[in-house]
Amino acid sequence: MKTFSAKAPEVDRKWYVIDAADHILGKVAVEAARLLRGKHKPIFTPHVDTGDHVVIINAEKVRLSGNKETEKIYTSYSGYVGGQKVETPKKVRARRPELLVERAIRGMVPHTRLGRAQLRKLRVYAGAEHEQEAQKPEPYTI
């Protein structure tokens, strides 16, 4: 018996919409990463992009558990002297609320070319409106 390996052109992709309002950030990110990678499909192949497209709405209403809103920190370093920036989720939410969800999902997909290809199928919107109505996305419940 030969091992099945999916081929990228043969993958059937669906569109899903996830409403993140009043859900925990980690739980939303886990489900979105699962759909993006294609782990919910029986044809899942680790080295092939078998995932679906995911649209996340109401990213500004996502919750963080515990005291993470004020105590968790995101750091970035430019490489220059004094180039380290530190932000809390509260500041990130005020500046760009979609970034909270995008960063959480980015950490859950592979950090390779495959992961970047999978992240291109992710769209995150702060409000309830999105531009993918023509694709007829199916609602996905968490």
Q: What is the pLDDT of residues 63-92, one digit of tens each?
A: 999 999 999 999 999 999 999 999 999 999
Looking at every residue in the chain, the average pLDDT score rounds to 96
The per-residue pLDDT for 68 is: 95
Q: Which amino acid is at 43?
A: I
The per-residue pLDDT for 130 is: 96
What number is the average pLDDT over the span 128-140? Answer: 96
Q: Which amino acid is at 30?
A: V
The per-residue pLDDT for 1 is: 85
What number is the average pLDDT over the span 113-127? Answer: 97
Other CB atoms within 10 A of residue 107 CB: 11
**Domain ranges (residues) in the chain:** 13-63+96-140
The per-residue pLDDT for 93 is: 95
Do residues 103 and 84 touch, judged by C-beta distance below 8 A? no
Do residues 36 and 52 touch, judged by C-beta distance below 8 A? yes
Instruction: Name the class of domain 13-63+96-140.
Output: alpha beta
Cα–Cα distances in angstroms (integers) from residue 43 to residues 14, 32, 74, in the given order:
14, 18, 36
| 45 token code pair | 């192949």
Under DSSP, is residue 77 helix (H, G, I), strand (E, B) or coil? Answer: strand
Q: Given a cut of 90, is residue 22 above it in pLDDT? A: yes
Do residues 59 and 19 touch, judged by C-beta distance below 8 A? no
**pLDDT over 90 percentage in the chain:** 96
The per-residue pLDDT for 62 is: 97
What number is the average pLDDT over the span 87-103? Answer: 96
pLDDT tens, 41-57? 999 999 999 999 999 99
pTM reported for the whole predicted model: 0.93
